[in-house]
């Protein structure tokens, strides 16, 4: 059986094709292609621009995916698409395309919860059976565990997502959004040495990031580290090796004023500690020793390292995936959609409108029985 997955809840449009062989052998990824809308440094992406981007690319990508997978339209069983949560306009653009393909080709339509897509893809790739899931991205921050056919949310952010906090700080520093802001923060943070004091906000199993963002933004402003000019200086420094070694000597001599790298370093250390802490609580609660990290922020190596140390001390292990599967993609929607399709789930045309708010625990996980 073959499913096409269409994802476009944020600034990436991804089309993926999954095959679940009838003989019961493991599912296979036939195609996984993606195109990202990148905004200039210092700016975020606006829903209308992203929607336009998705509309422009969707036909090309579907054609490309079919070609790469070497499947004909006749062989496809269902069209799966992200029904939410996400940004309204981009979601609508992709849902419209999915509806059209379903009607045009006469295929079943399957609406998929974006978070469940991440979880199912992570489980498939890593082979983790019943992990505590940390789902961290630009729009979501949740600690999830499975219990009687629901993915239950144990803890979550009370305001903005952790990825949003990182993205917005990248804007303050005018760090490039290519390939994505979090990656560039991570690279800059590697040069950071000094830990500055930031708020640390954990309430039970919930976290909050807006205060941290406000604190570090104002710190950057006070130290005069924000803005385009400083970003250019940084770039010049990086390109000039000789000067870099000189600067290091200078840094050593100068007073302990935090640098841009120090701020990135401190922000990462603080927010990732919070995430690992709430994950550990959830693990203690459900008695699980596996952690699965999914979502775009999950590709951060420092987060994976910290989670690894925590899990090791509890006698467990971490499952993480690389950019191909962590960051929003089409196959995760195809995978979760296929599981739902096989359990008899269908989305009728009149029920196929998408929603910006779609809680992970609203989905009836009919395909799991444990």
Partner 1 sequence: MADEYKPPALPAPFNNTNPAPELLTQGAEGHLYKTFSLDPSIPAALKVRPSKPYRHPILDRRLTRQRIIQEARCLTKLIREGVSVPAVLALDWEGQGGDEAGWGGAWLMMEWIDGPVVRVVLEQWEAWMKKNASSLDVAQLEQENARVKALLRRIGKTIGGLHKAGVVHGDLTTSNIMLRLPTEDIEAETTPTGVSTQGEVVLIDFGLASQSAQDEDRAVDLYVLERAIGSTHPRSEPFMEELVHGYRESHRGATSTLKRLEDNPVPLSNAYSHMDRIDLNWILKTPR
Kindly list the residues in this chain that would bind partner 1 in the complex (CB under 8 A).
153-156, 158, 195, 197, 200, 203-206, 269-270, 273, 276-277, 280-281, 283-285, 287, 305-307, 309-310, 313-315
Q: What is the smallest separation between the CB atom of 307 and partner 1, expressed in angstroms?
A: 7
Nearer to partner 1, 76 or 297 (CB): 297
Which burial class, exposed, middle or buried, applies to 245 when counting CB atoms under 10 A from its CB (0-12, 13-18, 19+)? exposed
Q: What is the smallest separation between the CB atom of 286 and partner 1, expressed in angstroms?
A: 9
Q: What is the smallest separation between the CB atom of 163 and partner 1, expressed in angstroms?
A: 20
Nearer to partner 1, 26 or 287 (CB): 287
Alpha-carbon span 17 to 75, nearest angstrom: 11
Q: What is the smallest separation between the CB atom of 300 and partner 1, expressed in angstroms?
A: 14
Q: What is the smallest separation between the CB atom of 276 and partner 1, expressed in angstroms?
A: 5
Nearer to partner 1, 203 or 366 (CB): 203
Q: What is the smallest separation between the CB atom of 188 and partner 1, expressed in angstroms?
A: 17
Q: What is the smallest separation between the CB atom of 185 and partner 1, expressed in angstroms?
A: 16
Neighbours of 224 (CB within 10 A): 10
Nearer to partner 1, 285 or 368 (CB): 285
Nearer to partner 1, 50 or 303 (CB): 303
Nearer to partner 1, 105 or 200 (CB): 200
Q: How far is CA 99 from each of CA 78, 116, 309, rounded to the nearest angstrom?
A: 11, 21, 45
Nearer to partner 1, 23 or 197 (CB): 197
Q: What is the smallest separation between the CB atom of 356 and partner 1, expressed in angstroms?
A: 17
Q: What is the smallest separation between the CB atom of 316 and partner 1, expressed in angstroms?
A: 9
Region of residue 3 (left: phi > 0; alpha: psi -120 to 50; beta: else)? beta
Nearer to partner 1, 125 or 303 (CB): 303
Nearer to partner 1, 230 or 302 (CB): 302
């Amino acid at each position: 059986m073959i499913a096409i997955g269409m994802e476009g809840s944020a600034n990436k449009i991804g089309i993926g094709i999954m095959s679940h062989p009838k003989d019961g052998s493991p599912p296979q990824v036939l195609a996984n292609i993606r195109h990202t809308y990148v905004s200039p440094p210092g700016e975020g992406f606006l829903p209308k621009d992203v929607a336009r981007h998705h509309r422009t690319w969707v036909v090309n990508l579907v054609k490309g995916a079919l070609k790469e997978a070497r499947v004909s339209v006749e062989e496809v069983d269902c069209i799966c698409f992200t029904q939410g949560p996400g940004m309204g306009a981009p979601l609508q653009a992709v849902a419209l395309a999915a509806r059209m393909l379903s009607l045009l080709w006469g295929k079943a339509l399957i609406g998929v919860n974006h978070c469940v897509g991440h979880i199912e893809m992570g489980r498939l790739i890593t082979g983790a059976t019943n992990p505590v899931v940390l789902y961290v991205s630009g729009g979501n921050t949740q600690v999830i565990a499975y219990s009687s056919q629901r993915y239950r949310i144990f803890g979550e952010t009370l305001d903005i997502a952790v990825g949003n906090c990182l993205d917005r700080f990248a804007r303050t520093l005018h760090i490039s959004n290519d390939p994505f802001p979090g990656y560039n923060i991570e690279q800059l943070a590697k040069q950071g040495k000094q830990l500055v004091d930031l708020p640390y906000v954990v309430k039970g199993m919930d976290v909050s990031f807006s205060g941290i963002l406000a604190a570090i933004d104002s710190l950057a402003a006070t130290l005069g580290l924000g803005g385009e000019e400083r970003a250019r200086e940084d770039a010049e420094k990086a390109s000039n090796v000789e000067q870099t070694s000189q600067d290091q000597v200078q840094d050593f001599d100068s007073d302990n004023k935090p640098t841009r790298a120090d701020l990135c370093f401190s922000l990462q250390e603080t927010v990732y500690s919070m995430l690992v802490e709430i994950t550990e609580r959830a693990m203690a609660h459900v008695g699980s020793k596996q952690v699965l990290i999914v979502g775009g922020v999950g590709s951060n190596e420092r987060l994976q390292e910290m989670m690894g140390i925590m899990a090791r001390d509890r006698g467990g292990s971490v499952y993480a995936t690389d950019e191909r599967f962590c960051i929003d993609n089409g196959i995760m929607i195809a995978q979760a959609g296929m599981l739902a399709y096989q359990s008899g789930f269908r989305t009728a045309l009149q029920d196929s409108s998408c929603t910006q708010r779609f809680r992970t625990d609203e989905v009836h996980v009919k395909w799991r029985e444990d």
